[in-house]
Amino acid sequence: MKCSTGKNQYSTKFLAETSLIDIHIHRNFQPDQGPQNVYQCEICGQWHLTSKSPERSERLQEMIDSGEMRREQRARRWEF
């Protein structure tokens, strides 16, 4: 069932965070751009991405801090 928010739904926090990271890699977002965190929806109970969070997802932040995000983004450019 679709959420009335119209946002993509993820059944777990882990899946939502994985999607968040994938989006940053594939769309080549700068660290402060795009969705920054995930939250559990009060309407549907599923997980959604948000760009309005006051803090960044811990998993996303770790990838940025370690340089892994930039490495993944560079590797992605070589795929095409």
Q: What is the pLDDT of residues 6-26, one digit of tens each?
A: 999 999 999 999 999 999 999
The three-class DSSP label of residue 72 is: helix
32 inside domain: yes
**What's the predicted TM-score (pTM) here?**
0.89
- Give the count of alpha carbons within 13 A of 46, CB side only: 16
In a domain, 29, yes or no: yes
Q: Domain for residue 2, yes or no?
A: no
d(CA 49, CA 35): 6
Confidence at 79, pLDDT banded by 50, 70, 90:
low
Residues 49-74 as b/e (b if ≥16 CB within 10 A, e otherwise) read: beeeeeebbebbeebbeeeebeeeee
Task: Flag whether pLDDT at 80 surpasses 80.
Answer: no
Domain around 24: 13-72
Cα distance from N-terminal residue to C-terminal residue, the chain: 35
Give a yes or no: residue 80 inside a domain. Answer: no
- Over the chain, what is the mean pLDDT? 93
